[in-house]
Structure 1
Amino acid sequence: MRILIIEDEARIAARIERFVRELLGPTRTRLARCDSVADGIEHIRSQGIDLLFLDLNLNGQDGFEVLKHVVAESFHTIVISAYTDKAITAFEYGVLDFIAKPFAIERIQQALNRVESRAASSQPSLKFLAVKGRGQIRLIPVDDVLFVQGSGVYSELHLQNGTTVLHDKSLEKLAQLLPASFERIHKSYLADSRYFSKIHIQSGGRYTLQLTSGHHLPIGRTRYEQLKKHFY
């Protein structure tokens, strides 16, 4: 398991690391530590992780900034913070657990049990997609996305309110991260199966998928048989 601790107090970071190694064993962990938002984001993007222990006050910086910048990555997050009033916000970001400081090894064990239980049942459920623009990051709820259209190395998110926003990840990358309800219906399209309405047969052996929103999307020839199962 690739684990990252983002904590600016070396004593607390060492305590978390000691507890984790004691509970999981040295052969089951590849553990790293960072003490700032920027270093944590860089490590996640360059190395990839399975589990994040995150403090919310990093030398005066907001730890939630880490989650905003890497929200489309797939890993579990356990927040460890003295700011218990931020617990509700943390769970809105999709964190798996919130541990209040000070903490004992038993509380870390409980959190790790949740990680293993979730890993055994399913992958983390992505709740938001981060869209960057004009120096800001906007969090788009996955539930607002009807379908995704590939646009080179980028993707266009088509939302339920009729707007379209550009995402800086490719369609292939988003296909790995989005919930199972999103299906690849064409080499250039992902669509949420909860909004499938009808399949239309066109001339020349072509097919289109109608969504409940009224959108008509092309269906790849190799995808037609699989999609039919939604309607029979």
Structure 2
Amino acid sequence: MEKVSCLIIEDEKPAQEILRTFVGKTDWLVLQGVFNDAVEALEYLRNHQVDLLFLDIQLPSLTGLQFLRTLQDPPAVIITTAYSEYALDAFELHVLDYLKKPFSFDRFLKAVNRYPALAANGDNKEVATGNQTFGFFNVNKTMKKVMFDDLLYVESMREYIYLHTNKGRVITKMSTHEIEEILGEKFLRIHRSFIVNVDKITAFNAEEIFIDVKNIPIGISYKKQVDEVLRKHAF
């Protein structure tokens, strides 16, 4: 396969050395630099193209997540951290994977092996636009087809999403932002953790949306958008 360029952004020397070793054992990864500080890495990225970042969260000057939010067109990112509590925020920033220290070489390989699928438009995407009628989703290494007309709502559970359909539930590893980009205009984000199929809504009020007997909360920051969409159909 083609070589993949990468950077390590990590301020702890032992962690740097572990990542150097793991990258060195992976023949298709090419290490372009190691940085102790996110600001230094930011300067490098302004003048160099990189495919993949190994990014710690607790860094001087900027945290890893603050750094990631400054990038307009970030490379693929694998978080490497001793803390588990930032996982949800990290996946909402479209990170490729979240490695909790200490991690093994096997776990490292599992993370980096997600990159080729991402480079080929994603192992969870049959298409890259929101105008398609179905998609294939990775469920325990089997690509399962979901017809979007069958999809009732999407529920986020940390780094996984639950696709609730009228034929059952499909669980796959991706973020709500990623699935939101795949789905068409008839799907509406109503909460940090929920996207609903507007065609399947059976009732709503100021606080909740109902899909048959399921009631789904409307997030405070989404109320205006939800009201604008649904009031078009209210008489």
**What TM-score do the two structures reach when normalised by structure 2?**
0.49
**What TM-score do the two structures reach when normalised by structure 1?**
0.49
